[in-house]
Chain A
Amino acid sequence: MQMQTLKFVKKIAPPWAAGSIPIPGGSVYKVSTDWSRADYWGMIKSRVGGFRMNYAVTPGLYAVGEPTQDSDVFVTANYKLSFDILRRELKGMNTWILVLDTKSINVWCAAGKGTFGTDELIERVGASNLDKVVTHRRLILPQLGAVGVCASEVQKKTRFRVSFGPVQARDIPAYVRAGYKKNKEMCTITFSMIDRLILTPMEINPAMKKFPWFAGGTLLLFGLQPQGILFKNAFSGGLPFLLLLLLAIVSGAFLTPALLPFIPFRSFAIKGWIMGLLAILLVVQGLVLVDVHTMPLLAMTYLFFPALSSYIALQFTGSTTFTGISGVKKELKIGIPLYAGAAGVSLIMIVVFKLREWGLV
């Protein structure tokens, strides 16, 4: 019974709402500037996997504190984490928040897709009667939204002048205090070790999804004997390679992103290859995992695993704040033939190894 009541309440007011305030022609929710335990838990879940896909708030106008018709309007995406970060940073202020429908995608990605865009902003300003709620004609957008929003067009269609505020919501109070002026730090996107580490789960997860297939293939390969599939051979021969596989994933999806600025060369493919080679070299030589006399397997180890690490590291270009499409295209143009070559030669080495093992050559 109690659950039902709770559900009902949740349906009318979101849990982060703190009452509502009237506006011309209706009312809007007042939002809390504090995070609940559910908000923190939601942030963690959305950082690691598919939960993020439906982590949304309803688009429209919201109030922070006791805003008036002179109060600032901050625009954001309807990805709940984006919205949560903004409302937290507006603590103690009296402002409006206009949430665009970005299909629960953050500002930067949605601006790239065009959903945090000129048309949606124009439409949302109209739909929320903003011109009756405030008497001024100013909108403050997150700077990274500029990829999708053409300020001059918005002004032409809505008469609202767009200012692109700081990159990070945490700089908003200082930006407002400075008379809506940004310094260089507020304008520039950084990419600290913590920023990079936060992103690594989404590098490791997709790679690990393919791991069972590779693992199965590896065990099958070593288990396959003239007399059938032998489990003993599968595990004694295959396990070291499963470990190397894991190592290549860790080095490409975690070590390379984490240590990015400290690894030489600008190319992500080279960075990933260096980290992969170092990790493999250390483990293979240190633990004597691969019999150094088994030439084809040793060659395969040094050819395949650093290349895999390099390939995975190259995927991280999609998460950084400083790589561009032309550079990634260049890396792929050179890299893909090399990856294909490494994979091809590795395959030949494995065949040679198996033929020798079976005493056929």
Chain B
Amino acid sequence: MKYLANVTTLNYVSEKCAGCGRCVEVCPRGVFEMLDKRAAITDKDLCMECGACAKNCEFGAISVNSGVGCAAAIINSMITGGPPSCDCSDGESSCCG
């Protein structure tokens, strides 16, 4: 399953890649693969902007505006002005288990 096309903020600069393979190891969507000892993007639209790759790229080759991709959290952040977070519920029953 794929979500909307051409919306991800994932940005990869292959010149900075040192070929450690962490991005391939951490991406749960198979966005990266190793080609000639460097990471390459398979299909950008698979990306769900979780941020695992950017967090674990030691060489600063990857950036992505990661965040909670949840409508309730985003609506809540529009109202309160803060960043979208999972702590949007009444406290009694959060969606995160």
- A contact residues vs B (CB 8 Å cutoff): 46-47, 49-50, 52-53, 55, 79, 81, 105-106, 109-113, 143-144, 146-152, 163-164, 167, 182, 184, 187-189, 191, 202, 205-206, 260-261, 266-268, 314-315, 317-332, 336
Are B96 and A109 interface neighbours, CB within 8 A?
yes
Are B68 and A81 interface neighbours, CB within 8 A?
no
> For B24, what are the chain A residues with a Cβ–Cβ distance below 8 Å?
187
B contact residues, total (Cβ < 8 Å): 50
B66 contact from A105, A109, A147, A328, Cβ within 8 A: A147
> For A184, what are the chain B residues with a Cβ–Cβ distance below 8 Å?
30
> For A167, what are the chain B residues with a Cβ–Cβ distance below 8 Å?
28
B86 contact from A113, A191, A324, Cβ within 8 A: A113
> For B62, what are the chain A residues with a Cβ–Cβ distance below 8 Å?
none
- B contact residues vs A (CB 8 Å cutoff): 1-5, 7-9, 22, 24-30, 46-52, 55-56, 58, 65-75, 78, 84-87, 89, 91-97
Are B97 and A317 interface neighbours, CB within 8 A?
no
A-B contacts counted at CB < 8 A amount to: 159
Q: Contacts A147-B52, A314-B71, A323-B3: A152 and B27 contacting too (C-beta < 8 A)?
A: no
Q: Which residue of A lies closest to B53 (CB)?
A: A146
Q: Give the docked Cα–Cα distance between A148 and B28 (Å).
A: 14
Most A-side CB within 10 Å, residue of B1, B22, B73, B92: B1
Are A148 and B55 interface neighbours, CB within 8 A?
yes
Q: Which residue of A lies closest to B46 (CB)?
A: A322
Closest 8 A/B residue pairs (Cβ) = A318-B70, A324-B49, A50-B93, A146-B26, A109-B96, A146-B52, A52-B97, A189-B28
> For B95, what are the chain A residues with a Cβ–Cβ distance below 8 Å?
202, 206, 318-319
> For A324, what are the chain B residues with a Cβ–Cβ distance below 8 Å?
3, 7-8, 47-50, 69
**Interface contacts beyond A49-B93, A206-B93, A325-B66: sample of 19 additional A-B pairs, CB < 8 Å, sorted by A:** A46-B97, A52-B97, A53-B94, A81-B97, A106-B97, A109-B86, A112-B86, A143-B25, A147-B51, A189-B29, A267-B4, A268-B71, A318-B68, A318-B95, A320-B3, A320-B69, A327-B4, A328-B69, A329-B74
Are B30 and A322 interface neighbours, CB within 8 A?
no
> For B28, what are the chain A residues with a Cβ–Cβ distance below 8 Å?
143-144, 167, 187-189, 321
A80 to chain B, nearest CB (A): 10
Most A-side CB within 10 Å, residue of B66, B68, B85: B68
Q: Contacts A109-B96, A113-B86: A332 and B4 contacting too (C-beta < 8 A)?
A: no
Most B-side CB within 10 Å, residue of A167, A184, A325: A325
Q: Give the docked Cα–Cα distance between A323 and B7 (Å).
A: 10
Interface of A is mostly: helix
Q: Which residue of B lies closest to A260 (CB)?
A: B1
Q: Give the docked Cα–Cα distance between A205 and B90 (Å).
A: 13
Q: Give the docked Cα–Cα distance between A92 and B86 (Å).
A: 36
8 A–B contacts from the bound complex (CB under 8 Å): A112-B68, A113-B85, A147-B55, A266-B2, A266-B5, A317-B71, A322-B46, A324-B47
> For A329, what are the chain B residues with a Cβ–Cβ distance below 8 Å?
74
> For A151, what are the chain B residues with a Cβ–Cβ distance below 8 Å?
22, 56
Are A325 and B69 interface neighbours, CB within 8 A?
yes
A249 to chain B, nearest CB (A): 15
A254 to chain B, nearest CB (A): 16
Q: Give the docked Cα–Cα distance between A260 and B3 (Å).
A: 11
> For B93, what are the chain A residues with a Cβ–Cβ distance below 8 Å?
49-50, 52-53, 205-206
Q: Give the docked Cα–Cα distance between A143 and B24 (Å).
A: 11
A210 to chain B, nearest CB (A): 12
Q: Give the docked Cα–Cα distance between A111 and B22 (Å).
A: 17
> For B92, what are the chain A residues with a Cβ–Cβ distance below 8 Å?
50, 53
B49 to chain A, nearest CB (A): 4
